Structure 1
Amino acid sequence: MSNITTTLGAAVPPFTPHAISVSLPTWEDNVGYEQGDKRVVDVMVSGYPRFFIALNIQRLARICEKKFGLNGERCLLVPTRLIANQCRTFMVERSSKEGSPVPVRLVQFVICPEDNDLEGTCAELHVVLFPADAFPLAKQFWQHTGLGITSRLADRCLSMIPEASKPSSPSPSRAPPSKASNRHYSAKNSRTSLPPSPPEDSSTADTFGSDLKTYVEERYGRNLPLEAAAAGKRAMRRRIAGVLLRDSPSDWSIAGGRDAKLGPSTRGIKEVTEDDVFLYPTGMSTVWSAHQLALATRPLAKSVCFGFPYTDTLKILEKWGPGCHFFGNGTDEDLDKLERMLEEESQKDPSKPPILALFTEFPSNPLLRCADMSRLHKLADKYDFLIVVDETIGNFVNVEVLPYADVVVSSLSKVFSGDSNVMGGSLVLNPKGRHYLELKSHMINFYEDSYYAEDAIYMERNSRDFRRRIKVIDGNTEAVCDFLHSHSLMSTNTNPATLPPNSRFVIKEVFYPKYTTAEHFNRCRTEGGGYGGLFSLIFTTSIAAREFFNALPCNKGPSLGTNFTLACPYTILGHYAELDWAARYGVEESLVRVSVGMEDKHLLLQGFVKALHAAEQQ
């Protein structure tokens, strides 16, 4: 496995501007991160963007606080007025429940180059200001919604602010070296080009300059020019809708063109078009927006979270609207309980649906469980509620879940991108859904495209060969999981409680759709589709989990769906403050989650043999 970084706090992958993962190479590093250990947090130059506010965004925020803040106020930066108002509403409503409402001010900040004769080069920021002690509340909005500004937008803004070129006192978070205003934004240029990315550190500084970097990206077929962002977004929407009859890396230039060859959708619903696909800046913003869509169009009621989800999905359903019912195991037994609950609630008030919407992942993260979608769909028809499915882990090359859903969401930051250098998300409406007309009408009237153009350019480039990459990743993952499954207690049907002290088995269970609720996964599996690139392991002891993780020769950090193998101690990172609660649903402290990449299959297997041997020697 090549291109691995073992440097704590470095970008993952290494030397990648705008990387969305960070190296936490040991179990102890992950615990230290959760505990706020200065040994860990003070060396981090990167991180998952919804949890770690990028250093250049922090720097831009400090400039805005100095420029607009009063009495030590802090701020959050968002790209549009609508999002700023949504942030303010969240902060005021949440703080009111705790006591008195927090005062929140909004400022619009339009940033233009010093020579502002060139049209279209100004950037717009919306600054949400609040008392410094309210920052943790503001950070909740940033994390749960994924609607804050991106590091590329921050780069562009900093390149046009004279204050940004002035030396500043060192930051405890190791801010990158400051740069002078970017000469891309001058009247002498005929078009807007890509601004430079901040270096990871002095050893990775851009020695060639942003002009040459942009020229290479655009001239040699890697990136569309920035002014073609609309065409890039259209190409992505067509890929996600499954309507492109010809789409390959060599045909990328016409994928977003008006004359592209389109046909019936391959998403399981032929009537899907690109107009049913909506792009967002992050995957989590699609979940949040789907919930907002439900709240705006359907009778008010609690939602249902079915199955143990990625952490922020549950937080969204709990913190916006009237709350949710949580069926955290996501098993058929939970489905029985759900059906009984729906019947009881409908009897209380037959005039309205018993729930607003049901949210589920297919399969779930991190336990890779799938719900019986056919049965859920029948319940939705009977009790008149929406079904929202997050297909990020399964991905639409492998599974067809749209026929069972009203709304399908996905994090494009994962395998659709693969390069771990840009965020994005998609929301797809099912034109055959019973509430389609109402949902589509609302989206037409109220959808706001806040996906930053330069991020869309990179996502378009990364996604051109996603179908080919998924096939490679599927094959690699199945080979690795078959090996680990054969060395687990699952292969012996042995009860861990009856194991002798010197037992060689250290893997308790392998969570992977081939073994986990396989009948439900296979019902939605596409012809020729695989089982995806994600799996999780639970070990017989926490020591075995630690030794396995530390010995595994791959990149270690948050995120998944990368072209390279990436592992993390998921429960430590996702639920460190609620370990006992997570364990109640089978998400044990010893859980290690692995996203398999495109490395040579033989070398991959060698790496997992090495890690397993280390765990067995503990």
Structure 2
Amino acid sequence: MASTLGSAVPPFTPHAISVSLPTWKDTVGYETGEKRVVDAMVSGYPRFFLHLAIQKLARVCELKFGTPGELCMLFPTRKIAEACRNFMVDRSSQSGKPVPVRLVQYVICPEDSSSGKSCAELHIVLFPGDAFPLAKQFWQHTGLGVSSRLAERCLSMLPSEEPKPSSPTSPRLPLKASNRHYSAKPSWSSPAVNPVEDLDKDHSTYLEERYGRNLPQGAAAGAKRAMRRRIAGVLVHDTPNDWCQAGKHDTEVGPSTRGIKEVSEDDVYLFPTGMAAIWNAHQLVLGVRPLAKSVCFGFPYTDTLKILEKWGPGCFFLGNGIDQEIDELERILEQESAEHPDRPPILALFTEFPSNPLLRCADLPRLRALADQYDFLIVVDETLGNFVNVEVLPYSDVVVSSLSKVFSGDANAMGGSLVLNPKGRHYSALKEHITKTFEDTFFDEDAIYMERNSRDFRRRIRVIDQNTEAVCDFLRSRSLAFSPSSTDVVIKEIFYPKYTTPEHYNRCKVSDPEAGYGGLFSLTFVTQEAARAFFDTLSCYKGPSLGTNFTLACPYAILAHYVELDWAAKYGIEESLVRVSIGMEGRQALLEDFDKALKAAEATLSNSDA
């Protein structure tokens, strides 16, 4: 199943959100900007790699509005563009002179008014080329940039000939990452051939809809309503057969199944990415509570920590996320209360349930008790546990999730959600503020695809849960957990909620007997050679993202923390760590593939002894 280096994952998907990095060496090459890898990239995770359509549209905007040496980033609203400008000016001012940033509004309308297409609005952030890393940070951390489908819509309404610049501007060819998160400067090279670009519109649509029929383009509001109802858990009937009814105004809804029956679709907000939901959750709590540091509890996906560090007054990082760190949290709360008796000791506590990639779960009841005692908010990212398996809302004020993962499954659309707990102490203030400030920037066409993908998510999750548990049980039986003194075992540890902090996970597990432990696990190895052999031998897709309907693996520490491996290792993210998201393949075929990979890893020990 492994695909060509740099190609879209899934293949032949115009808006794929992953990219093929088939070997350990390829992943290192991606992080170091190796030309062999960079030149092959025609796809990538959307917050790290600018889709070819976005690059092309940015080029048009730079030629039309830019001055010599300027580059740009594209956003869907003025408010977001202003937030990008403020971020760039603030961050650059901390290290020297503030960078000059210009904003331009660009409304693009179809030349043919009978085409049925509506006008599209772009907000362009223009800046000197050497300030690109700052703009890229905002794009990556917030997840608020224009989507590739919106870029395609804009391009379809522009003349086929790009405007000629009145004076030369900086060249914009496809963006490739030349190091971990953002380049010191953009690295430009000619793109490899993208097989998807050679498809006509009908063929492309056929490929995208091979997963099922979409709602018509004009039904975006109903698609979003259907998703909000699914996430709120209020749909009385929600199976693939009911898809055409889920978003209608007269659809039957009932009490929520989210652990708090009062939750309604009006407590659910949709965003263009999961990280946008997290960024907006942080902005929300900053807007309603006295200013104070937040707490990041447990080792999170990298951009969550960056958001807490770069916006607001900063955060306390309790990166292990274990029970002993709740003791440390209590000391922080006591000290901050003593020093600042006029306000709550912290703004909010952010945690993942479980965490990515170590699959640890916090003791949510204990954290909730502390939040009630010291009057701070709790924000939980439930992406990995997902609300089919766990109920975290009763312990949270705000719950966020990346819909791009298992809720979608098809890896061809991005999205995120934010849910308010209507029983929370600060619900009224949160609700009032988000009602005033919320912008719907979830592009309609992305919502159409996401709604289609999510119709059978409950059924898919059950299959994925069962497959993952079978694979993990098999691998653990061949690990040091079972044979701690063996000299021919290569797996050090399996990180999976069934084995990792199971008491905390099970406390929040839903009462349904079919509820499982999710589709993600990680494993570490006794040597780097064993880790590489295991990873390279796996025949599944290799690349970023998770929660896909197909199995997807990556050397996580290399991919997420290449320039800070020593720092990540302090929190248990070893260089040898491989993260695996299990899909819906046949269980026996999965077990055979992992057995083959494990044997290749074990062979490295005998080879080293020879």
Say yes or no: TM over 0.5: yes
The 1-side partners of 2:134 and 2:208 are apart by 39
Q: Compute the displacement of 1:172 (Å).
A: 6.0
Q: Compute the displacement of 1:211 (Å).
A: 5.1
Aligned counterpart in structure 1 of residue 291 of structure 2, from 281, 300, 308: 300
Q: Compute the displacement of 1:492 (Å).
A: 3.2
Aligned to 2:182: none
8 Å Cα contact 2:483-2:489 kept in structure 1: no
The 2-side partners of 1:518 and 1:538 are apart by 19
Q: Compute the displacement of 1:87 (Å).
A: 0.5
Aligned counterpart in structure 1 of residue 81 of structure 2, from 75, 79, 84: 84
Residues 1:41 and 1:206: Cα distance change in structure 2 (over 3 Å)? closer
Q: Compute the displacement of 1:205 (Å).
A: 4.9
Aligned counterpart in structure 1 of residue 103 of structure 2, from 79, 98, 106: 106
1:285 maps to 2:276: yes
1:536 maps to 2:522: yes
The 2-side partners of 1:364 and 1:545 are apart by 22
Structure 1, gaps ≥5 residues long:
176-198
Aligned to 1:121: 118
Q: Compute the displacement of 1:119 (Å).
A: 6.7
AA matched with 2:138: F
Aligned counterpart in structure 1 of residue 466 of structure 2, from 465, 475, 479: 475
Aligned to 1:57: 54
Aligned to 2:186: none
Aligned counterpart in structure 1 of residue 540 of structure 2, from 542, 554, 578: 554
Q: Compute the displacement of 1:6 (Å).
A: 2.6
1:258 maps to 2:259: no
8 Å Cα contact 2:292-2:346 kept in structure 1: yes
Aligned to 2:493: 509
AA matched with 2:309: E
Residues 1:164 and 1:433: Cα distance change in structure 2 (over 3 Å)? farther
Residues 409-430 of structure 1: per-residue CA shift (max 9 Å, x gap): 0000000000000000000000
Q: Compute the displacement of 1:77 (Å).
A: 0.4
Alignment of 1:340-351 (within 5 A): 340-351=331-342
The 2-side partners of 1:200 and 1:446 are apart by 41
Aligned counterpart in structure 2 of residue 67 of structure 1, from 50, 64, 69: 64
8 Å Cα contact 2:55-2:172 kept in structure 1: no
Aligned to 1:518: 502
Count of residues paired in the alignment: 584
Residues 82-112 of structure 1: per-residue CA shift (max 9 Å, x gap): 1001101111111111111111100011111
1:416 maps to 2:416: no
Residues 1:216 and 1:312: Cα distance change in structure 2 (over 3 Å)? closer
**2:425 aligns to what SS in structure 1?**
coil
Q: Compute the displacement of 1:556 (Å).
A: 0.1
8 Å Cα contact 1:5-1:12 kept in structure 2: no
**1:489 aligns to what SS in structure 2?**
coil
1:151 maps to 2:148: yes
Residues 204-238 of structure 1: per-residue CA shift (max 9 Å, x gap): 4565x425765998999610111100000000000
8 Å Cα contact 1:414-1:561 kept in structure 2: yes
Aligned to 1:354: 345
The 2-side partners of 1:215 and 1:255 are apart by 24
**1:370 aligns to what SS in structure 2?**
coil
8 Å Cα contact 1:25-1:556 kept in structure 2: yes
Residues 1:539 and 1:215: Cα distance change in structure 2 (over 3 Å)? closer
Q: Which moved more, 1:118-127 or 1:371-380?
A: 118-127
Q: Compute the displacement of 1:117 (Å).
A: 5.6
8 Å Cα contact 2:399-2:420 kept in structure 1: yes
Alignment of 1:483-498 (within 5 A): 483-494=474-485
Q: Compute the displacement of 1:250 (Å).
A: 1.1
Q: Compute the displacement of 1:203 (Å).
A: 4.5
The 1-side partners of 2:363 and 2:206 are apart by 50
Aligned counterpart in structure 2 of residue 612 of structure 1, from 573, 598, 609: 598
AA matched with 2:8: A
Aligned counterpart in structure 1 of residue 560 of structure 2, from 557, 574, 577: 574
Aligned counterpart in structure 2 of residue 325 of structure 1, from 296, 299, 316: 316
Aligned counterpart in structure 2 of residue 365 of structure 1, from 329, 343, 356: 356
Q: Compute the displacement of 1:576 (Å).
A: 0.3
Residues 160-193 of structure 1: per-residue CA shift (max 9 Å, x gap): 1114579999986499xxxxxxxxxxxxxxxxxx
The 2-side partners of 1:532 and 1:221 are apart by 24
Residues 1:204 and 1:261: Cα distance change in structure 2 (over 3 Å)? same
TM-score, normalised with respect to structure 2: 0.93
8 Å Cα contact 2:143-2:273 kept in structure 1: yes
Aligned counterpart in structure 2 of residue 48 of structure 1, from 45, 49, 54: 45
Q: Compute the displacement of 1:349 (Å).
A: 1.9
Aligned to 1:442: 433
8 Å Cα contact 1:77-1:126 kept in structure 2: yes
AA matched with 2:31: E
AA matched with 2:303: D
Aligned counterpart in structure 2 of residue 314 of structure 1, from 301, 305, 309: 305
Q: Compute the displacement of 1:365 (Å).
A: 0.0
1:270 maps to 2:267: no
8 Å Cα contact 1:41-1:173 kept in structure 2: no
Aligned to 1:426: 417
Aligned to 1:249: 240
8 Å Cα contact 2:49-2:175 kept in structure 1: no
Residues 35-86 of structure 1: per-residue CA shift (max 9 Å, x gap): 0101001110000000001111111101100100012200000111110011
Aligned counterpart in structure 2 of residue 453 of structure 1, from 444, 447, 451: 444
The 2-side partners of 1:317 and 1:113 are apart by 41
Residues 1:370 and 1:202: Cα distance change in structure 2 (over 3 Å)? closer
Aligned counterpart in structure 1 of residue 22 of structure 2, from 15, 25, 32: 25
8 Å Cα contact 2:382-2:400 kept in structure 1: yes
1:136 maps to 2:120: no
AA matched with 1:587: I
Identity of aligned residues (%): 71
Q: Compute the displacement of 1:480 (Å).
A: 0.1
The 2-side partners of 1:220 and 1:510 are apart by 32
Aligned to 2:607: none
Residues 1:588 and 1:71: Cα distance change in structure 2 (over 3 Å)? same
Residues 556-615 of structure 1: per-residue CA shift (max 9 Å, x gap): 000000000000000000000000000000000000000000000000000000000000
Residues 1:247 and 1:542: Cα distance change in structure 2 (over 3 Å)? same
8 Å Cα contact 2:271-2:441 kept in structure 1: yes
**1:522 aligns to what SS in structure 2?**
helix
The 1-side partners of 2:491 and 2:171 are apart by 46
The 1-side partners of 2:342 and 2:379 are apart by 23
Aligned to 1:192: none
Residues 1:603 and 1:304: Cα distance change in structure 2 (over 3 Å)? same
Residues 1:72 and 1:361: Cα distance change in structure 2 (over 3 Å)? same
AA matched with 1:280: F
Aligned to 1:188: none
The 1-side partners of 2:68 and 2:194 are apart by 35
The 2-side partners of 1:439 and 1:304 are apart by 19
Residues 1:312 and 1:219: Cα distance change in structure 2 (over 3 Å)? closer
AA matched with 1:78: F
Q: Compute the displacement of 1:504 (Å).
A: 1.0
AA matched with 1:514: K
